[in-house]
């Protein structure tokens, strides 16, 4: 059996595993009485109150419980109390003779209420049996009699048959009679099913029938043959590790369910011996058993041995898993004795973890015959009182016929999960590889007996090609569709061969992850969504006669003898549907075609091989062959055939005439003129023909003419003429129309030398015209002129090729004797030099030749010039590095081997003589392929290439990089505030190595700019960034944007010139210094910073007081002010002019002691109001320099005053102080004048400067 090689990664445990949670109490209200007995005849007796010819019965179960002290049991009768056991039997009333069958099970006789239409809650006093309609009886007994009698029979004769055929058996003292009709199963198992272990079944059932609470003590130790099973049961019952399991542990189990193994982690078991002890569980308990079956050697292959399942008989299971990939080797008969009253889930399949291994691939799975044996169990399960959703899981087996389950209750909420089946169909079909095929597929049958076909089912011919990702997950699958045509017919466009099989079926769950639409059968047999459901898909292996092409076999048969004279198999290169016309293939040498048994000789190729018989009788044949003797080829052959002794009507005259008309002529004809008589051993007749020919002649003349003329061109003598005549003969082919010529012929091939005639007083420029040789038919006519000059001397200059010995040319010089020729050889020497010659010697005199009565010959000799040449031939090696899609992965590698040689080129002939090629190396070194993160090269190193020669072709190789299993790289983008040095933000990007990030900084930079930042440098690439295995960090630098504004500050120096009475004496002197500073505002924080004040000058120059006639300034010059800053207040100085009256105190001289003015305590600013009190005289002086501050206040500053004038008398009238408008009294004025006079007396030359900053 050819195993499929395909992956099925989808584990569908959620679909196949029904809810195993149960209520804490069994709600079954039935108290039916069930009795069991064993028979030696392997006959299942089906009891009930209806007659049925096709009955499927579930296993009867006799459950016992402890009895109270008031119950007295006789050890001889071994009576037990039956309780809460619901026996369910599904009866199929199909009376068809062809379908009637009764499943044959282990030797058991089962009685109970089997009528699905009657009340199933009968009491222990009722026992129903099924009998033929002709002899059906009903027996009624009281409970004590029935129970005692039944148990008596079981206890005393465990191996006896308690039922009889066509007879009544009295089993109780009150003559209760049970009549049964045994039926024999018409369904047989295949060779994978072993015969039933009758002894084990009998023993188990006998034990069940005779067991009572009194027969086994609680302390009795239970022994399990399998250690794994023992450990699992011990754990389930809560027995300490290593402790014995006793009957008491089982009888007094307080939980609801005994969970042995689990759906996820089943127990590997090679023997179930010991499980029968669980019959001692209280009746409201049940068992969940999950096991993987092993052989007695502990292996999974059950071909040699499989576990005996009889110890499971009668146990009340809710979930039962018997996992095995070798279910086809298991005897399932013992499972008919299971109790189905609480059964919700049963798993008879390979282990769930092996779905990928066995999905549509398990050749050793459960068969249709085994399913038929188990049908009664499944029918009973569908009819039990449990209302929970139920599952029968038969996945990954060899099942296609589910009609044996037709007796199941279709109204129950139950799923038959049978996905992943593999089925072998041994009915062969003919298939041509990769050509369309139509075939019938009726292998799959539903529960209701209908064939499973549907256009929506999407059957597929299985030639799958899977694609996977790096994690092994299916990402794509390619199948060949099988189109359903109806009536069980399927059409496949291009079937693929799988061993000797054609495989077809449903996609199933294997492609669910890819197609997102699983293709399988999901059929509900009752009310939609909560009724009996069959979910199945199968891959069917059909034994197939695979052919490379459709065939038609043609047999050429001698009808008289039946001998096959020839056999021809046609069809190579043909397609199904192509036609073959045999009409022109009926000719057989030596035979007459008599006919065929085929309806037509125009046949159509199909997948089924076809045979056509052609029939023949004896005949005689000959040929007439027409031969072209001119070419040796056969022109035509006529096949002649006829019966012995007859004369052919064929004649050659007509065919010959046709060839004559084409230009042929007859040579010979040996065919009989009266026609050939057909006899055995006729020769082949030949007609010889040849091409008719017409003779041809041709000629051509080559002439020589020598003209003799004087120097003025007039004729000096008669021309000399000579001719050479060439002739040839040929023929014209009348058939082909071609002309064929012989070679040209001539008696001579040269013109002789000709001596020029002697003319008195004249000399010819050529005494002899030289001979001309090598004249051919293609030579041109020759014309030469000999010129006669007044007799002069002559000389000849001959140009010779010393390399070849040939004359290159010659010049004859003629001149008056005694004169010198102006002829020079330079031009011709240059001509020959330009053609590659090298001058050897120039025999011509340098001053020219002198003519005399002799003819001098001068030789100019050359040799062939040569040039050393170099040649180079490069052989390159180019290695392309590309990705799988053909795009460039890395820069090409190129290496070059340069072959060089030196040669000598003859400059005249152009031929070059070369030395041997040389090179530094003759091999390309091995070249390792570059490493590209995330990719693997298909060639890590390009091997060295040896033996490179100049004639070697360039080497071009390609290394392809395939993506490595995807890893993830990291890219970090950090945003740094250059102003503060702090990190504002960072992005961490991750992605598969080799992929590119779509991240860009633009959006975030826009946000930062909006917040007042300015981009310094965006270190993140503007193009995409590729992830690699190393972490990449990119820095984006920003800084605080700022706005700058300019602020000016002016410091003013004002000098007021006033008279003693305060009136203006001269215009004010005003000078300014302007300071500038920049205000910078941080756009992010809003903070403001100032630059230092700056100015082009920081000093006020000294100012001379203006001269006023008859007045004298108290200071002739106001000194300069240095180091002025923007923080300084304005400078104000008052210069007072007094009438020039001389020094009233000291006779007009300079004061001897200066008087220091008192600095005003209050600023000299305008009064706040007119009511302000007058200032004291001592608060101000007329010589005070004051400065207006930025805030409007005035401070008094002492100024450097040069050359103080004599104090002038202050008028007595009131005056106003400059800048203050404050009034002073005459007394104050007088006091001021006194102070000024005192200052002069003290010799104070100037006030020390005093500066106060705002």
CA trace torsion 656, 660, 662, 664 (10° rounding) = 100
Q: Which residues pair with 769 in a beta bridge?
A: 754
What is the distance between the alpha carbons of residues 25 and 84, in angstroms, rounded to a whole number?
Answer: 12
> Mean pLDDT, to the nearest integer, of 188-200?
38
Backbone angles phi, psi at 891, to 5 degrees: -65, 140
> Mean pLDDT, to the nearest integer, of 885-892?
94
- 563 has a pLDDT exceeding 90: yes
Tell me the CA distances in angstroms from 10 to 187, 534, 535, 540, one per residue in order.
Answer: 35, 19, 16, 21
- 338 has a pLDDT exceeding 60: yes
Instruction: Tally Cβ neighbours within 10 Å of residue 1153.
Output: 11
> Mean pLDDT, to the nearest integer, of 1174-1187?
36
Q: What is the pTM of this model?
A: 0.40
What is the distance between the alpha carbons of residues 143 and 35, in angstroms, rounded to a whole number?
Answer: 12
Instruction: Tally Cβ neighbours within 10 Å of residue 940.
Output: 10
Name which CATH class applies to 867-963.
mainly beta
CA trace torsion 1226, 1228, 1230, 1231 (10° rounding) = 170
Scored b (16 or more CB within 10 A) or e, 517-549 reads ebbbbebebeeeeebbbbbbbbbbbbebeebeb
Which of these ranges, 207-221, 347-361, 602-616, 905-919, has the smallest mean pLDDT? 207-221
Query: According to the model, what pLDDT value does residue 845 have?
Result: 96
Q: How far is CA 796 from the centre of its chain?
A: 90
CB 672, CB 679: distance < 8 Å? no
Binned at pLDDT 50, 70 and 90, residue 710 comes out as: very high
* Average pLDDT over the chain, rounded to an integer: 76
3 state SS for 994-1055:
CCEECCCCHHHHHHHHHCCEEEEEECCCCCCEECCCCCEEEEEEEEECEEEEEEEEEEEEEE
Name which CATH class applies to 792-864.
alpha beta
Quick one: tokens of 85? 């056991």
Domain 552-618, what architecture?
Answer: Roll (3.10)
What is the distance between the alpha carbons of residues 939 and 1088, in angstroms, rounded to a whole number?
Answer: 66
- Of 514 and 1160, the one with more pLDDT: 514
Determine the Cα angle at 81 with ends 77 and 86, to 5°. Answer: 130
Which fold would CATH assign to domain 394-545?
Immunoglobulin-like (2.60.40)
Name which CATH class applies to 621-690.
alpha beta
Which of these ranges, 213-222, 444-453, 1036-1045, 1107-1116, has the smallest mean pLDDT? 213-222
CB 445, CB 452: distance < 8 Å? yes
What percent of the chain shows pLDDT beyond 90?
57
Quick one: tokens of 908? 């005249």
Domain range list for the chain: 216-343, 394-545, 552-618, 621-690, 698-790, 792-864, 867-963, 968-1040, 1043-1139
Q: Using CB atoms within 10 A of its CB, is residue 23 exposed (0-12), middle (13-18) or buried (19+)? A: exposed
Tell me the CA distances in angstroms from 408 to 317, 394, 531, one per residue in order.
Answer: 19, 16, 11
Which fold would CATH assign to domain 968-1040?
Ubiquitin-like (UB roll) (3.10.20)
- 382 has a pLDDT exceeding 90: yes
Binned at pLDDT 50, 70 and 90, residue 1064 comes out as: very high
Q: Which residues pair with 370 in a beta bridge?
A: none
Provide the pairing of β-strand 591-596 with 521-524.
unpaired
Quick one: tokens of 1174? 């007058």
Query: According to the model, what pLDDT value does residue 889 have?
Result: 92
Which fold would CATH assign to domain 698-790?
Immunoglobulin-like (2.60.40)
The answer to whether the 394-545 and 968-1040 domains have the same CATH topology is no
- 1227 has a pLDDT exceeding 60: no
Domain 1043-1139 has CATH 3.40.1180.10: no
> Mean pLDDT, to the nearest integer, of 51-73?
32
Query: According to the model, what pLDDT value does residue 84 have?
Result: 32
């Amino acid at each position: 059996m050819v195993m499929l090689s395909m992956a099925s990664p989808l584990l569908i445990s959620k679909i196949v595993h029904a809810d195993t949670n149960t209520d804490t109490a069994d709600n079954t209200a039935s108290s039916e009485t069930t009795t069991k007995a064993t028979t030696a005849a392997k006959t299942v007796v089906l009891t009930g109150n209806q007659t049925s010819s096709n009955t499927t019965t579930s296993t009867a179960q006799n459950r016992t419980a402890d009895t109270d002290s008031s119950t007295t049991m006789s050890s001889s009768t071994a009576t037990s109390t039956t309780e809460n056991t619901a026996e369910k039997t599904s009866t199929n009333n199909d009376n068809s003779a062809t379908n009637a069958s009764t499943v044959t099970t282990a030797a058991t006789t089962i009685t109970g209420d089997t009528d699905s239409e009657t009340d199933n809650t009968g009491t222990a006093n009722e026992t129903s049996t099924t009998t033929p309609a002709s002899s059906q009886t009903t027996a009624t007994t009281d409970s004590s009699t029935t129970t005692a009698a039944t148990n008596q029979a079981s206890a005393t004769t465990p191996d006896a048959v308690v039922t009889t055929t066509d007879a009544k058996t009295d089993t109780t003292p009150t003559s209760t009679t049970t009549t049964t009709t045994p039926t024999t199963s018409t369904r047989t198992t295949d060779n994978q099913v072993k015969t039933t272990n009758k002894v084990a079944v009998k023993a188990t059932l006998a034990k069940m029938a005779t067991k009572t609470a009194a027969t086994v003590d609680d302390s009795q130790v239970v022994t399990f043959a399998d250690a794994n099973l023992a450990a699992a049961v011990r754990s389930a019952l809560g027995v300490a590790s290593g402790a014995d399991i006793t009957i008491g542990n089982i009888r007094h189990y307080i939980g609801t369910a005994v969970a042995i193994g689990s759906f996820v982690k089943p127990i590997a078991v090679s023997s179930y011996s010991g499980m029968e002890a669980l019959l001692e569980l209280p009746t409201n308990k049940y068992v969940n058993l999950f096991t993987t079956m092993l052989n007695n050697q502990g292996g999974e292959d059950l071909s040699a041995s499989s576990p005996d399942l009889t110890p499971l008989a009668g146990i009340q299971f809710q979930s039962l898993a018997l996992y095995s990939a070798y279910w086809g080797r298991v005897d399932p008969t013992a499972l008919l004795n299971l109790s189905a009253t609480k059964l919700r889930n049963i798993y008879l399949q390979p282990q769930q973890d092996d779905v990928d291994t066995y999905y549509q691939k398990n050749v050793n799975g459960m068969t249709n015959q085994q399913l038929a044996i188990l049908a009664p169990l499944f029918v009973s399960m569908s009819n039990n009182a449990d209302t929970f959703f139920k599952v029968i899981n038969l996945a990954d087996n060899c099942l296609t016929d589910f009609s044996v389950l037709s007796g199941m209750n279709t109204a129950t909420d139950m799923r038959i999960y049978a996905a992943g089946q593999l089925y072998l169909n041994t009915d062969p079909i003919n298939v041509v590889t990769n050509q369309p095929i139509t075939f019938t597929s009726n292998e799959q049958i539903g529960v209701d007996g209908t064939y499973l076909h549907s256009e929506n089912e999407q059957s597929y011919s299985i030639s799958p090609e899977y694609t996977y990702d790096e994690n092994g997950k299916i990402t794509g699958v390619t199948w060949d569709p099988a189109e359903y045509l109806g009536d069980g017919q399927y059409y496949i466009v291009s079937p693929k061969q799988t061993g000797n099989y054609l495989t077809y079926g449903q996609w199933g769950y294997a492609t669910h992850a890819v197609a997102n639409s699983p293709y399988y059968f999901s059929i509900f047999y009752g009310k939609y969504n909560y009724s009996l459901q069959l979910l199945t898909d199968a891959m069917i292996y059909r034994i197939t006669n695979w052919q490379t092409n459709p065939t038609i076999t043609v047999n050429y048969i001698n009808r008289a003898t039946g001998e096959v004279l020839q056999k021809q198999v046609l069809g190579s290169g043909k397609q199904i549907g192509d036609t073959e016309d045999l009409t022109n293939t009926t000719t057989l040498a030596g035979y007459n075609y008599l006919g065929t048994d085929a309806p037509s000789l125009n046949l159509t190729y199909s997948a089924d091989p076809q045979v056509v018989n052609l029939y023949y009788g004896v005949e005689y044949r000959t040929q007439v062959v027409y031969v072209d003797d001119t070419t040796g080829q056969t022109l035509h052959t006529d096949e002649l055939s006829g019966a012995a002794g007859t004369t052919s009507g064929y004649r050659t005259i007509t065919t010959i005439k046709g060839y004559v008309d084409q230009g042929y002529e007859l040579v010979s004809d040996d065919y009989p003129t009266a026609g050939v008589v057909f006899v055995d051993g006729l020769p082949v007749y030949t007609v010889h023909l040849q091409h008719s020919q017409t003779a041809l002649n041709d000629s051509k003349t080559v002439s020589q003419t020598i003209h003799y003329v004087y120097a003025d061109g007039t004729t000096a003598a008669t021309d000399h003429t000579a001719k050479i005549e060439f002739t040839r003969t040929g023929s014209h082919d009348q058939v082909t129309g071609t002309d064929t010529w012989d070679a040209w012929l001539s008696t001579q091939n040269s013109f002789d030398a000709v001596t020029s005639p002697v003319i008195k007083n004249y000399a010819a420029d050529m005494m002899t015209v030289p001979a001309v040789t090598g004249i051919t038919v293609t030579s041109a006519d020759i014309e030469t002129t000999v010129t006669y000059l007044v007799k002069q001397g002559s000389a000849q200059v001959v140009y010779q090729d010393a390399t070849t010995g040939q004359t290159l040319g010659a010049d004859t010089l003629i001149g008056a004797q005694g004169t010198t020729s102006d002829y020079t050889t330079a031009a011709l020497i240059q001509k020959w030099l330009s053609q590659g010659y090298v001058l050897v010697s120039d025999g011509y005199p340098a001053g020219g030749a002198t003519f005399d009565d002799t003819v001098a010959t001068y030789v100019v000799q050359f040799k062939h010039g040569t040039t050393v040449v170099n040649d180079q031939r490069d052989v390159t090696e180019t290695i392309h590095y590309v990705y799988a899609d053909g795009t460039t992965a890395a820069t090409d590698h190129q290496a070059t081997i340069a072959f060089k040689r030196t040669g000598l080129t003859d400059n005249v002939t152009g031929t070059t003589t070369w030395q041997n090629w040389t090179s530094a190396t003759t091999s390309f070194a091995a070249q390792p392929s570059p490493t590209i993160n995330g990719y693997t090269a298909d060639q890590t190193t390009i091997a060295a290439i040896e033996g490179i020669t100049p004639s070697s072709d360039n080497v071009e190789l390609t290394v392809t990089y395939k993506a490595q299993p995807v890893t993830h790289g990291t890219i970090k983008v950090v945003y740094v505030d250059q102003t503060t040095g702090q990190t504002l933000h960072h992005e961490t990007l991750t992605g598969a190595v080799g992929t590119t990030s779509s991240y860009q900084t633009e959006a975030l930079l826009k946000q930062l700019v909006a917040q007042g930042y300015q981009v310094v440098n965006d270190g993140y690439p503007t193009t995409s960034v590729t992830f690699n295995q190393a972490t990449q960090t990119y820095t984006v630098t920003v800084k605080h944007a700022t706005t700058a504004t300019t602020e000016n500050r002016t410091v003013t120096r004002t000098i007021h010139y006033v008279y003693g009475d305060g009136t203006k004496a001269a215009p004010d002197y005003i000078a300014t210094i302007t300071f500038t500073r920049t205000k910078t505002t941080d756009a992010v924080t809003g903070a403001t910073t100032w630059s230092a004040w700056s100015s082009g000058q920081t000093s006020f120059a000294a100012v001379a007081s203006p001269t006023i006639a008859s007045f004298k300034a108290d200071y002739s010059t106001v000194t300069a002010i240095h180091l002025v800053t923007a923080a300084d207040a304005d400078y104000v100085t008052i210069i007072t002019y007094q009438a020039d009256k001389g020094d009233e105190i000291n006779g007009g001289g300079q004061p001897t002691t200066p008087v220091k003015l008192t600095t005003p305590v209050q600023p000299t600013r305008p009064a706040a109001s007119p009511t302000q009190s007058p200032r004291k005289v001592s608060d101000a002086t007329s010589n005070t320099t004051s400065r207006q501050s930025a805030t409007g206040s005035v401070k008094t500053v002492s100024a450097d005053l040069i050359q103080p004038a004599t104090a002038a008398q202050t008028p007595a009238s009131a005056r106003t102080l400059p800048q203050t408008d404050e009034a002073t009294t005459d007394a104050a004025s007088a006091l001021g004048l006194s102070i000024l006079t005192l200052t002069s007396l003290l010799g104070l030359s100037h006030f020390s400067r005093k500066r106060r900053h705002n």
